[in-house]
Homo-oligomer: A and B are copies of this chain.
C-alpha cells in the first residue's frame, strides 16, 4: 500500500486539515470554496478534491446543493473513537513491547526530566513533544504494522482536533510519565494499565468538555 501523495490536492488537503484541527475553521462552519480559490490561488478542482478527501476522513460534511461544512463531533462519536483508539494502542504496545530498548526511551526520559519543576506553560510544551514521541514512535511504530499505522492516521486526526479543544494541562503530562515509568521498568502489564487510564481520562475530559459546550 502507498499512502503518500504530493499533488496539489494533497497540499490543499493538508492546508485545510490544519485549519480544521487548529479550529481556525470552527465546527459547523461552512467552507467557502470561492474564498479559498482567491486565498490559495488555485482552481476549484483541487479544493473540491481535497474537501472530498476530508469528507472521506469524516472531518468535513457535505450537504448537496449547499456545500461543505466542518464536521461537528457528537459525544457518541467521540466515545467511539476513543474506544477504538484504546484497543489499537493496547494492541500496538503488546506487539512492540519486546522490541523496545532502554535506548528508545532515552529521549523521552530526558524530555520528562527537562519538564519537571518548570512553569505550567513550559511543561505543556514539553508534553506536546512527549505525546507525539510516546504514542507515535514508542507505542505505534514499534508494533511494525503499517496497516495499523494507516488506520491510526484516521484516529490521530481526531485526537489532534480534540487536543486543541480540551485543556488538560498537567494531568496529561503526569499520565504520560506513569506510562514511561512502567516502560522503563519493562513492566508491560503496568504500562498497559497506565495507557488505558490515560486514554480513558482523555475520553472523559473530552466528553465533559462537549457536554459543557452543548
Binding site for B on A (CB under 8 A): 1-3, 9, 49, 52-53, 55-56, 58, 61-62, 71, 76-77, 80-81, 83-84, 87-88, 91, 95, 145-148, 150-151, 154
B146 touches A1 (CB 8 A): no
B87 touches A147 (CB 8 A): no
Q: Contacts A56-B53, A87-B88: A2 and B61 contacting too (C-beta < 8 A)?
A: yes
Cα-based distance from A102 to B143 in the complex (angstroms): 38
| Best-buried of A61, A76, A145 by chain B (most CB within 10 Å) | A145
A-B contact pairs, 18 of them (CB 8 A): A2-B58, A2-B61, A2-B62, A49-B49, A49-B52, A53-B56, A56-B56, A77-B146, A77-B147, A80-B147, A83-B95, A84-B88, A84-B91, A84-B145, A84-B148, A84-B151, A87-B88, A151-B154
Query: Inside 8 A of A81's CB, which chain B residues have their CB?
Result: 147
Query: Inside 8 A of A148's CB, which chain B residues have their CB?
Result: 80, 83-84
Chain A at the B interface: mostly helix, strand, loop or mixed? helix
Query: Inside 8 A of A95's CB, which chain B residues have their CB?
Result: 83
Cα-based distance from A56 to B87 in the complex (angstroms): 23
Closest to A71 in B: B1
- A-B pairs, top 8 by smallest CB distance, nearest first, are A1-B58, A80-B147, A80-B145, A87-B91, A81-B147, A84-B148, A151-B151, A84-B147
* A127 CB → nearest B CB, Å: 26
A77 touches B151 (CB 8 A): no
Other-chain residue from B2, B3, B80 in contact with A146 (beta carbon distance below 8 A): B80
Cα-based distance from A151 to B3 in the complex (angstroms): 16
Cα-based distance from A166 to B83 in the complex (angstroms): 33
Cα-based distance from A117 to B68 in the complex (angstroms): 55
